[in-house]
Amino acid sequence: MNALELKDKRILVTGGAGFLGRQVIDQLCKAGATENKITVPRSHSCDLRVLQNCQRAVDQQDIVIHLAAHVGGIGLNREKPAELFYDNLMMGTQLIHASYQAKVEKFVCVGTICAYPKFTPVPFKEDDLWDGYPEETNAPYGIAKKALLVQLEAYRQQYDFNGVYLLPVNLYGPEDNFDPKSSHVIPALIRKVYEAQIKGEKKLPVWGDGSPTREFLYSEDAGRGIVMGTQFYNDPEPVNLGTGYEISIRDLINLICELMEFDGEIVWETDKPNGQPRRCLDTERAKKAFGFNAEVDFKQGLKNTIEWWRKNAA
């Protein structure tokens, strides 16, 4: 495989100051990128929902890696569906257009597995992406991100613009978002257990009935996968990034309780939504296309995440 040489390339990483972004920048540097040629636009001074800001951000850049997203768990999806649709669509679609106009050499768009249909055969294959409507609570966010895949395919067809689309599964790891209003399932559960322990509570309420399954990718692995896709992948088809390991929410919370030595009772709040019934990716395309395999064992990744939260909870 011919690698895209990263040394001396000017690389824009939107969302580069975030949880995944820091890992991507770390992996870019390990793969030979020149650190002082990596630019990270910040939302307070560069709102990517404004076209002129996108145009300024991509000017003179060789590679754009678009990670920035307005994203959260089921709670945020239910509370702010309009914002999630608008913000993610406008950021992505204007950034792609501005990158094409600025003659950017390569655009790497990081999508979401929320784009998959609610009842996708497991494991999810990239070719199943259009076989139905996403799970309702995820749909505004998922469809906004999926529209960017269509845009990249159209720009490739009409303008020969090299844009690729990667679909990481649910991420977790140190430095994740632990804010209960917007966090995803792993940090939310770790925080819940931690706070129950601090307060001496013996009952732990958890949304849903524990039956849905999820797959999780450690943030460092995700960063490596995105950089490998940047270097080695140039095709229009979307590519899943995952581990192929599926775990139920029930088993997940039991494992977190075991690792955190919490021996209270789990109370399932069955009046709350479960979200998508199953999520697990087929990861063959990433292996074949650019040799990506996840390396961090799930239990070890959870331990690292718990340890980081305990040190930084204050």
Q: Pairing between strand 213-214 and 247-248?
A: antiparallel
Instruction: Enter the pTM of the model.
Output: 0.93
Domains of the chain in start order, with CATH, are 11-171+217-242+279-295 (3.40.50.720)
Q: Which residues are annotated as a binding site for substrate?
A: 192, 207, 214
Per DSSP, 36 falls in state G
Nearest to 166 by CA among 221, 210, 119: 221
Q: Which comes out higher in pLDDT, residue 234 or 72? A: 234
Please, are residues 169 and 216 in contact by the beta-carbon 8 Å criterion?
Answer: yes
Per DSSP, 281 falls in state B
The stretches of the chain forming alpha helices (DSSP H) are: 19-30, 51-58, 74-79, 81-101, 139-159, 185-199, 219-232, 249-260, 284-290, 298-312
Task: Determine the pLDDT at residue 2.
Answer: 83
Catalytic residues: 141
Q: Which residues are annotated as a binding site for NADP(+)?
A: 15-21, 145, 168-171, 184
155/58 Cα distance (integer angstroms): 17
Q: What is the per-residue pLDDT across 14-46, written as a single tens digit (0 to 9) for each?
A: 999 999 999 999 999 999 999 999 999 998 899
Q: φ, ψ for residue 171 (rounded to 5)?
A: -95, 155
Could you give the percent of the chain with pLDDT greater than 70? 100
98/73 Cα distance (integer angstroms): 30
Task: Determine the pLDDT at residue 277.
Answer: 84
Cα-to-chain-centroid distance, residue 51: 24
Q: φ, ψ for residue 277 (rounded to 5)?
A: -60, -45
pLDDT, the chain, mean: 95
Per DSSP, 135 falls in state P
Q: Which comes out higher in pLDDT, residue 161 or 244? A: 161
Token reading at 181: 């209003």
Looking at the predicted structure, is the pLDDT value of residue 193 above 80?
Answer: yes
Please, are residues 222 and 241 in contact by the beta-carbon 8 Å criterion?
Answer: yes
Q: Which residues are annotated as a binding site?
A: 15-21, 145, 168-171, 184, 192, 207, 214
